[in-house]
Structure formats: C-alpha cells, structure tokens
Amino acid sequence: MRKTFISYKYSESRDIRDRILQALGPEATKFYRGETAESPDLTDFTTDTIKNHLKDMIYNTSVTILIISPHMKESNWISWELEYALKNQKRGDIYSHSNGIVGVIANQWDNGAWFKQNEYRIGNRLIQHSCLPDIVVKNRMNKKNRFSINYDSVNSESYISMVSENTFLSDPQYYIESAYEKSQRLDEFYIIKQSEKDRREREFREKIW
C-alpha cells in the first residue's frame, strides 16, 4: 500500500474522505498521512502554520487522492496542495518525488451528474473545466508522443486520472497503484507543477476574506 494524502474541500467532502478511508481498510492508519475526523481544527491558525502542517503530511506520501466536488475551486488549499505534491521537495539530503494523483468524482450530488454539466466538447475531445483547478486541467490529456488519440481512454492519456466515487471505492488499491505507476513514468507526460492562474485566484480570495 502506498502512502497517501487526500486533498478535498472540507465543507462538502469530509464524508467522502471518510468513505475512502473506510474502503482502504484497517491498514489505512499505517499509510494514510492526511486529515481524519479526529484531526485538530486549524481554521484559526495563520496561513504559514497551516501550510507547514500540510507540507509535513504531504511530504512523505507518494499518491494524492483528489476529491472532485462542485465547489472545490473555492478552496484556498486544494490547488496549493496539488502543486506541493507535484514538485520535488528537499529536506536535508532527501528529495521527495512527484506524487501520482487520482481524482475521485463525488457522486452525492445527483449521482455525479453535476460533473457532466461542466463538460464541453472540441471535436471529439471531451473537456471538464469549470469546476476544476487550472493545475488539474493542465495535467489532463498531457501524455507525450500520442501516436493515436483515443478519446475513449482519456485517463490513459492524462497524468491525473479521474474515476467516479463508486468505481474508486470498489477497488481503491487498483487506482492508487495506477496513479503511483504513472509517477514512475513522469518523462512520458508534459507535467505542469504550478499554475499562475490558480495562484492569482488564491491571492484574490485571501484579500476578500
């Protein structure tokens, strides 16, 4: 089992987080490094304190599970967590490696129909955009040297795969391992590790809050 971190919008996805942890089974406590229902509330802490806390949790993981929910872009942390997980981080003489990432589409709103409403097509290409952070969009359909473009296999052409919540929960280890395996083939993808658009949106939200 790979060490994992779950990135999610707390106010709408904490129940999904708990279902994922339950599906991972009793071994999850040994390998999961993110927040649980018992984690302390850091709401009133400074931004730097929260960032350092998140860095400590993400640093030693190899796979990030991203819960995709309707208002995830309103989170000030999801895009930052993904950027941190994708970059090589150095502590002492040890470097962390870019995490594999798998997106889990929440189904508790109209059984996932809300996500379909955020799709549009360019020719045969299916794009999901309006609910996703820019860093996620840019790491979709980003495989190098695609000799044939198979839009029925978007996940195989994307560094960040996306599956429905029910599909993921039916075999979480399979999808975690698949994300990890992609992280061992980084040179096959055009990986975007930072988004200026996401950074500007985070700064804007911080100002109005």
Reported as a single tens digit per residue, the pLDDT across 140-157 is: 989 997 655 555 567 888
- pLDDT recorded at residue 95: 79
Residue 15 DSSP SS3: helix
What is the C-alpha to C-alpha distance for residues 180 and 177, in angstroms, rounded to an integer?
A: 5
Please check whether residue 201 is in contact with residue 96, taking contact to mean a CB–CB distance below 8 angstroms: no
What is the C-alpha to C-alpha distance for residues 93 and 27, in angstroms, rounded to an integer?
A: 29
Q: What are phi and psi of 117, to 5 degrees?
A: -70, -10
Q: What is the mean pLDDT of residues 38-47?
A: 76
120 pLDDT above the threshold of 60: no
- pLDDT recorded at residue 122: 44
Q: What is the mean pLDDT of residues 62-70?
A: 96
- pLDDT recorded at residue 126: 53
Weakest-pLDDT range from 67-71, 99-103, 112-116, 189-193: 112-116
78 pLDDT above the threshold of 90: yes
What is the C-alpha to C-alpha distance for residues 117 and 92, in angstroms, rounded to an integer?
A: 46
**What percent of the chain clears pLDDT 90, i.e. is strictly above it?**
57
Please check whether residue 13 is in contact with residue 67, taking contact to mean a CB–CB distance below 8 angstroms: yes
Model confidence at 2, pLDDT cuts 50, 70, 90, reads: very high
Run of H or E including 139 = none
pLDDT digits (tens, 9 = 90+) for 156-192: 889 999 999 999 999 999 999 999 999 999 999 999 9
How many of the other CB atoms lie within 10 Å of CB of 194?
16
Model confidence at 113, pLDDT cuts 50, 70, 90, reads: low
Range of the domain at 65: 4-208
> Rounded to an integer, what is the distance from CA 131 to the centroid of its chain?
13
CATH number of the domain enclosing 182: 3.40.50.450
pLDDT digits (tens, 9 = 90+) for 194-203: 999 999 999 9
Listed in sequence order, the DSSP H helices in the chain are 10-24, 28-31, 47-59, 78-86, 113-116, 134-138, 165-170, 172-183, 196-208
- pLDDT recorded at residue 173: 95
Structural domains of the chain, count:
1
